[in-house]
Amino acid sequence: MAGGRPIPSFETVRYEVADAVATITLDRPDALNALTIAVKRDLLAALRAVERDRAVRAVVLTGAGRAFCAGQDLRERLESDAAPLAVELRERYNPIIRAMRALDQPIVGAINGVAAGAGASLAFACDVRLVSDQASFRLAFGRIGLVPDSGATWFLPRLVGAAKASELALLDEPLSAADAERIGLVARVVPADELAAEARSVATRLAAMAPRALALTKHALERSWSVGLDAALDDEAYRQGIAGATADHREGIAAFLEKRQPRFRGE
């Protein structure tokens, strides 16, 4: 149970909750966690479960086995009844990316191995990216005659700047974990055998912080990408008004003055 609710279970995605951290694991290791209709359905359902459960304060998104996610399952794409690509994106991929960005709880991407195609896009949509030293990114769309999707053309220039975004998207070359850190695509490279513990530690730190302030910060950063400084200043003032009225803000000041750790309750 989390927050009094039973913890849901899914066919292709593992969903675990412990100490206010939900871990979502894409779980088709034999196909490098490639995204079938079932995985997309289960991942969206897992994100909805997080959205409904206020006892969950941070999320870790990772992959089972040696890959994070190899993107669209190309075998399923060849099936005779596969939906047209534009429909697949509108109905199955885009809702996942929107749900990740709309979620109040921060998502720590634990990029344990290769992230390709829409799998790279899933990594880009996380709030904090920790990457294994064994991992790599590959847009992979160009090689099969497609356009980067699931937010890749939007996230990439914002995360790494126009020059690197164009190089990655157009030339479609693999990017090592070290290079991803160097160009600012990920927060940090971590030795493979320490990644899960490190991601959990970061998520646990986030889970101990004031949830309203974290959500307001996440959404303020998101909004800042599409507005000018003037509007961003107004937006910060608006959000600070909300954060400043919370019991957690008062608790934060009290804890500072009393030289103790704060106990944030999300109120």
Applying CB under 6 A, the residues found at the interface with ligand T3D are: 31-32, 34, 70-75, 77, 85, 88-89, 114, 116-118, 138, 140-141, 144, 146, 149
Q: Within 10 A of 156 (CB to CB), how many other CB atoms are there?
A: 23
* Closer residue to ligand T3D in complex, CB, 134/240: 134
d(CA 139, CA 121): 8
| Shortest reach from residue 242's CB to ligand T3D, in Å | 37
Contacts 24+ apart (CB under 8 A), 176-184: 176/136, 177/111, 177/131, 177/132, 177/133, 177/134, 177/135, 177/136, 178/133, 180/131, 180/135, 180/136, 180/137, 181/131, 184/159, 184/160
| Shortest reach from residue 205's CB to ligand T3D, in Å | 31
| Shortest reach from residue 143's CB to ligand T3D, in Å | 6
d(CA 115, CA 121): 8
Which burial class, exposed, middle or buried, applies to 23 when counting CB atoms under 10 A from its CB (0-12, 13-18, 19+)?
A: buried
- Angle between helix axes 247-257 and 211-224 (nearest 10 degrees) is 110
* Closer residue to ligand T3D in complex, CB, 85/208: 85
* Closer residue to ligand T3D in complex, CB, 109/117: 117
* Closer residue to ligand T3D in complex, CB, 105/121: 121
| Shortest reach from residue 199's CB to ligand T3D, in Å | 21
* Closer residue to ligand T3D in complex, CB, 17/135: 135
| Shortest reach from residue 111's CB to ligand T3D, in Å | 13
Q: Within 10 A of 94 (CB to CB), how many other CB atoms are there?
A: 14
